[in-house]
Structure 1
Amino acid sequence: MSHDRPVGELLRDWRRRSGLSQLDLAIAAEVSARHLSFVETGRTTPSSAMVLHLADRLAVPLRERNRLLVAAGHAPVFGGQPLDEPDSARARETVQQVLLAHEPYPALAVDRRWNLVLANQAVEVFLDGADPELVRPPINMMRLGLHPDGMAPRLRNLAQVRSYLLPRLAHQAARTGDPQLHALYEELVAFGPEPAPGPPDPAEAALVIQVSFREAELRFVNTVTTLGAAFDAALDEIAIEAYLPADLATRRYFRTDR
């Protein structure tokens, strides 16, 4: 497991995933390249402050920062229990309020592996007609969206959705080194042509989704918001996906009693 490895190896892995040389990171972190080399090779044990400083420059998720600290012999500093734990009741309520405020339009919260954490009632638009196996908890929203027995047959712009989501999933898997994300990508890419490699295009700020739902043809703009809780690893991993009507017909559909 990753926490059994020396902190220098873990930091080196994060640096390489970020596409940085030792010199690049040393300059960004304002430390000497020699000191960074000593940290990575285990000749120097970094202080907790140095571990956090380097992790910040590498944009390491908070949960992984805790692992770096433990590997360096320091205590973890970021709390955070899953939202279904009793100690997370307040955080869960906060996320739920955000989702409810977005009604009548769909909104949902997913964890770092795209598993559904919370949703409002309008999420039925995405769950409708899916194979029961795909909507059995934990529901993986990436799999549900692209699986032939999930939402894919109802997506009127499936190719566009695949070309938007799969590169992001590949980039996320490569960036984190998470084997479950790698496996998810390999599973989903097999359902259709593999999209062009490369990181997500930052110019693509939002995805338009065209989906049939019962007798309606709906179009949504999808936006993703991360909470970025400064000291909570669980909240740091939560992303809220909000869907807004992309045309007047969709807006009217949700504003009319059905």
Structure 2
Amino acid sequence: MHRTPCTVHGTDDRDVTTVCRCGCGEALPAAPAGGGRAPLYASPACRQRAHRRRRPVAPTTPADPPSVAPLLAQVRELAAVLDAGGRPDPTGVRVVEDLTGRLLARARSRGQTRWLPWVDAAGRERTALDDGDVEALTARLYADGARTVGPPQPSRPACARWVQAWRRDTSPGAQTYAPLELVPGYPLTEVDARVLVQGCRDGGESWASIAARAGVPVAEARTRWG
């Protein structure tokens, strides 16, 4: 049975059987004179190009964040030893525990950041109130939702004392936000503060910045939390 080759009409109305199948538009070489299979591509490069297009694209694995790359490398090494039934190196286990603790400390420190009373939700500095107007300062503290006096029952006198201590040790020109553990007068244990400061240090913050946020000299900050 004689078959008529299928044609696709375009700008040049060439027979589809005479055009390279990779899409380059080049004409195909002539068929072998002695018979045989007619070429489908204009050149070996066209054949490779068509082959690459047919291959599925392998998904790319995102790179590890630089801050946790050492931790992930240690975890993979430890998991490989355990999966193989081996006994892990105690030093490697301690490294994983230490790096994991530092990462969790950073997460906790970011989760306990609050806006200070003189800064609104957009970060704009508000007009400073008179230091003696404790009632107005207390009202602003409540309005901003900075319930820093802690459980079980925040009281208005306790909140007022906190405001007085804060305004005594800090000025509106200081850092606009700070972790609660570093706010003067906030009742947390020294251990909590050390964990938080370690997270700040792991995040690249300098001792001078930590001391400024806490309202203490650099030497005192190093002694208390270093």
Is the structural similarity TM-score above 0.5?
no
Q: Using CA pairs below 8 Å that are at least 6 residues apart, which structure has the higher relative contact order?
A: 1
Greater Rg, structure 1 or structure 2?
2
TM score, norm. by length of structure 1: 0.26
